[in-house]
Amino acid sequence: MWKIGDVEIDNRVVVAPMAGVSNAAFRTIVKEQGAGLVVCEMISDKALLFHNPKTLKMLHIEPEEYPLSIQILGGETKTMVEAAKYIAKNTDAAIIDINMGCPVPKVTNNESGSKFLKNPDHIYEVVSQVVDAVDKPVTVKMRCGWDKAHYYPVETALAAQKAGAKMIAMHGRTREQMYRGQADWNILKKVREALSIPFVANGDIRTPIDAKNALEITGADAVMVGRAALGNPWVIHQMVHYLETGEMLADPSPAEKISQAIDHLNRLIQLKGEEVAVKEFRKLSSYYLKGLPGSAKYKETLHTQVEAIPMIQLLKQCGSEAQERLDLRQYQLNHKNEE
């Protein structure tokens, strides 16, 4: 157990905020798989202050998600402060996180996300004023730099700490790298050594062994897992269990994968209605079917669906076929060994 401010976190696995994914449906699933902390997908400060209906719906929190962090995104100090105050007053979030790491041009062109990494003074200004405006712990998620010419991982982290941040999560890639190349865990180690507040390592943490290695190399208090959990929420349970016991748990069967996929779809329907949920789940279905024998043809068909029942039927058919193929492979292998 460790703490962010006065908020207790049960274990060392945090699930990252992912745009278009980290809604209450996804968060409750990974929370059930044992995530110590879940983070809401980024919320635009201006959209929130204009009471954009879609943005307000993104603030929905289920009771079983606690402790939950809500992440805000913006480039102007005044609107970031007002957004933080709105969240503190109107939601049950335990923590407010500031996005200083998103690398996509749509965000950075608005002086938001990883654009902050060019100027440690701007980081200090925004974080300090948000901290002063709310009673909840404030954290920061960032990358290790903008590019090779603007690379100040220790300085940016220290600026956030000096401003009053209670935890920093850092992705070991620059904005220029996007998701290419390798995350630099060694620079994360240097950042960890410079800080006195909790630190979370992010980037290339895909397996339980990755989680253990990242913790050992960086000295971080926890690891943050993002894309590895897409269609694979079991990896969170596997990581938590491995870190606590050293035992590697088996991967789920095709039936278990399909059951979880259908459950995810149903949670999305409850949250957003069938039309929106089915549309959003088309992409997510590909993650759930990844690695299942014979799934390619189902992925293409699933991406054309507009209703839940046909989508669920296709998922079940895919799961049955995948299991039959696996059983056949095992039979052939056993028969060959007997010979």
Is the domain of 258 the same as that of 239? no
- Looking at the structure of the chain, the number of domains it has is 2
Is the domain of 159 the same as that of 31? yes
Full-model pTM = 0.94
Q: What CATH number has the domain bearing residue 42?
A: 3.20.20.70
Instruction: Quickly state the pLDDT bin for 325 (edges 50, 70, 90).
Output: confident
Asked if the bond preceding 53 is cis, omega within 30° of 0, the reply is: no
Q: Residue 145's beta-bridge partner residues?
A: 174
Express as a percent the part of the chain with pLDDT over 70.
Answer: 96
Residue 181 reports pLDDT greater than 60: yes
Is the domain of 133 the same as that of 151? yes
Known catalytic residue: 318?
no
Longest pairwise C-alpha distance within the chain: 75
Residues 233, 35: Cα–Cα separation, whole Å: 10
126-135 pLDDT, tens per residue? 999 999 999 9
Specify the pLDDT at position 339: 57
Specify the pLDDT at position 337: 59
Q: How far is CA 60 from CA 53, 92, 315, in A?
A: 12, 9, 28
57-96 burial, b at 16+ Cβ within 10 Å, e below that, comes to ebbebeeebebbbbbbbbbeeebbbbbbebbbeebebbbb
Is the domain of 258 the same as that of 208? no
Residue 335 reports pLDDT greater than 90: no
Last residue of a domain, one of 245, 273, 307: 245
Is the domain of 104 the same as that of 48? yes
The active-site residue, picked from 40, 102, 144, 318, is 102
End-to-end alpha-carbon separation of the chain, Å?
53
Residue 12 reports pLDDT greater than 60: yes
Is the domain of 284 the same as that of 178? no
Is the domain of 162 the same as that of 228? yes
Is the domain of 232 the same as that of 299? no
Question: How wide is the angle at C-alpha 119 spanned by C-alphas 156 and 52, nearest 5°?
Answer: 95
Mean pLDDT for 162-180 is: 96
Strand duo 2-4 + 7-9: pairing: antiparallel
Q: How far is CA 86 from CA 10, 49, 57, 223, 318, in A?
A: 27, 8, 14, 29, 45
Is the domain of 231 the same as that of 271? no
309-324 pLDDT, tens per residue? 999 999 999 999 988 8
Is the domain of 105 the same as that of 237? yes
Last residue of a domain, one of 245, 265, 300: 245
Is the domain of 185 the same as that of 325? no
Specify the pLDDT at position 1: 86
Residue 333 reports pLDDT greater than 90: no
Specify the pLDDT at position 78: 97
206-230 pLDDT, tens per residue? 999 999 999 999 999 999 999 999 9
Q: What is the domain extent for residue 265?
A: 254-338
Structure tokens at 271: 């949250």
Specify the pLDDT at position 328: 72
Residue 331 reports pLDDT greater than 70: no
Q: Is the distance from CB of 173 to CB of 144 less than 8 angstroms?
A: yes
Helix (H, G, I), strand (E, B) or coil at 338: helix
236-295 pLDDT, tens per residue? 999 999 999 999 999 999 999 999 999 999 999 999 999 999 999 999 999 999 999 999
Q: What CATH number has the domain bearing residue 290?
A: 1.10.1200.80
Looking at the chain, list the stretches that DSSP marks H as alpha helix, in order from N- to C-terminal side. 24-32, 45-49, 53-57, 77-90, 105-108, 120-133, 153-162, 185-194, 208-218, 234-245, 254-272, 274-289, 296-302, 308-338
- 170: closest CA among 150, 141, 139? 141
Is the domain of 240 the same as that of 92? yes
Mean pLDDT of the chain: 95
CB within 8 Å of 162: residues ≥ 6 apart: 124, 128
Specify the pLDDT at position 143: 97
Helix (H) or strand (E) holding 4: strand 2-4
Last residue of a domain, one of 211, 245, 279: 245
Strand duo 37-39 + 13-15: pairing: parallel
- 45: closest CA among 7, 2, 99? 99
Specify the pLDDT at position 22: 96
Residues 172, 231: Cα–Cα separation, whole Å: 23
Question: How wide is the angle at C-alpha 220 spanned by C-alphas 214 and 223, nearest 5°?
Answer: 60
Specify the pLDDT at position 65: 93
Q: Is the distance from CB of 49 to CB of 25 less than 8 angstroms?
A: no
- 5: closest CA among 134, 107, 177, 108? 134
